[in-house]
Structure 1
């Protein structure tokens, strides 16, 4: 069967926009070629298209909202003020996004300290080059220990561990964190300090928990991982400044590594988190003390 025929068949079966189907075909072909494991690249539309046409009864106001989305070709909206289906819009909008599943993952947030001060002292092009080099090193440590980078933004990295192999996900995140710190020391000694007079430092927050995992609906192939544990991990990264330690891990995650440790954890308050969180310090104090800021 020719490629065009395959695309047309998939489009008719799944009700997906043609461009998305093309991307899915490429993703499937690439994944098979590389013989990798993990999430399936082809995530079919969840709307039931077994019927030739699905008619969803909505109110005129609901229709205005629904039309802001790229609805499947064989879904028709029927604005009926007399008998709208109160669940119609909810069911429709809940089924046009990519499937989501819950996973138990280890979470890592990393941020470069004193980034604003660095930007004030050096041209943006220089800073961008330094950040790119750092992220290349950090990415290698993360991937070597079974992690996957979910997001990067400015001077920060967000990664998860346990997507493909849940065994020892927390331990792998800790190993990756220490590897990152070792690489940073070498980078400072051989490059950042002699070339630019910089003593770069980072903060790392580690946590674990059940989170929602899905492919992004905006950028196919890009994973989205969300949930309260993600927020806590991000706040733990911020807490490295006040605790003057480069790695802060939640006691909940730490207990999976050292369940028999009888030493007391430290309770701290995190912005936006109702209850205090018990933490452990696994890194070292900042070279410049607690004044290290973002």
Structure 2
């Protein structure tokens, strides 16, 4: 009969022809976690095949469904569903109660640590800390809530998701539902945010005299996306160099006195739709060597996919741009279904 070498237990045991790896492991006295009872519903029996993957039977439909949901590579298998034809070596991946909770959460939330391409937008209110020092605590919270609500509606409208609030700033991701238009949607959202802020300022100035000003930075790149937090509360978040770069671009607005700056990666994807204010700005980015070209976006052509699905040309005489000096014609916005990201 085939032999299985298992780590970290440092045991070797036999496996019968019709046995699963889990059954053989339990028969050998291994404390192999299997919270769902071996029904391919929890993934806590997961194993890493370190030798002999070619001797493992292909995934059955139950295992394949869960593997697709969780983004397992080929060498991560469910012991409760895997049968082998010759000797293999493997490692148990769920070793204690904490590992078991994490594995169960992964089934609940889906892929963890998945790398994807997104347009990342950072926005920050300029000088808000100093402004808040002159205001009552209630007024500070009131303004932030009104601001976040207004900005969030614009982000949602353009197929984005705000996934992190940081004081008076936030990070939004674009490309979850429509990856091909991630860059375009992020730029449309940024310009729409400026319009929404102008409307909000008309109210804020009546109450507090000082209007709000923001800086927005956008970059396109790969991020690691997953549900992070405690067992009681997890949030979808994104980390990686692209996220840090987008944050640095937002900060560069202070140096150049601009409002919306984007990276070369974003600009190359939308260059036929947008107008920039001047030549690219050469910026030194904190944490990186050399200089980087940043582009100040001031307007974008109408979204013809909404206004006229059959038109392949743009009539420039319409002048229905979204820009920082003229309020946009909202008929060119596409109303996307609000992305519901609920953590249970």
Q: For this structure pair, what is the TM-score category when the shorter chain's length is used for normalisation? A: 0.5 to 0.7
Q: Decide whether the 8 Å contact of 2:38 with 2:80 is kept in 1.
A: no
The Cα RMSD (Å) is 3.7
3-state DSSP class of the match of 2:180? coil
Instruction: Give the counterpart of 2:294 among 264, 273, 279.
Output: 279
Instruction: Please list, as runs of the form range in 1=range in 2, the aligned pairs for 1:231-270 lying within 5 A after superposition.
Output: 231-258=244-271, 264-270=279-285
Instruction: Please list, as runs of the form range in 1=range in 2, the aligned pairs for 1:85-164 lying within 5 A after superposition.
Output: 99-164=112-177
Higher RCO (Cα < 8 Å, 6 or more apart): 1
> TM-score normalised to the size of structure 2?
0.56
State how far apart, in whole Å, the 1-side matches of 2:117 and 2:192 are.
23
In structure 2, the CA distance between the partners of 1:98 and 1:257, relative to structure 1 (3 Å rule), is closer
User: Which protein has the bigger strand share?
Assistant: 2
3-state DSSP class of the match of 1:200? coil
User: Which protein has the bigger helix share?
Assistant: 1
Displacement, 1:251?
2.1
State the structure with more CA Rg: 2
Q: Decide whether the 8 Å contact of 1:105 with 1:208 is kept in 2.
A: yes
Which residue of 1 is the match for residue 239 of structure 2? 226
> TM-score normalised to the size of structure 1?
0.65
Aligned residues: 224
Instruction: Give the counterpart of 1:170 among 170, 183, 204.
Output: 183
Q: Decide whether the 8 Å contact of 1:14 with 1:44 is kept in 2.
A: no
State how far apart, in whole Å, the 2-side matches of 1:274 and 1:135 are.
34
Which residue of 2 is the match for residue 199 of structure 1? 211
* Unaligned ranges ≥5, structure 1: 1-6, 17-39, 58-65, 76-96, 286-294
State how far apart, in whole Å, the 2-side matches of 1:233 and 1:275 are.
16
Which residue of 2 is the match for residue 50 of structure 1? 79
* Unaligned ranges ≥5, structure 2: 1-34, 45-66, 82-89, 104-109, 299-323, 326-344
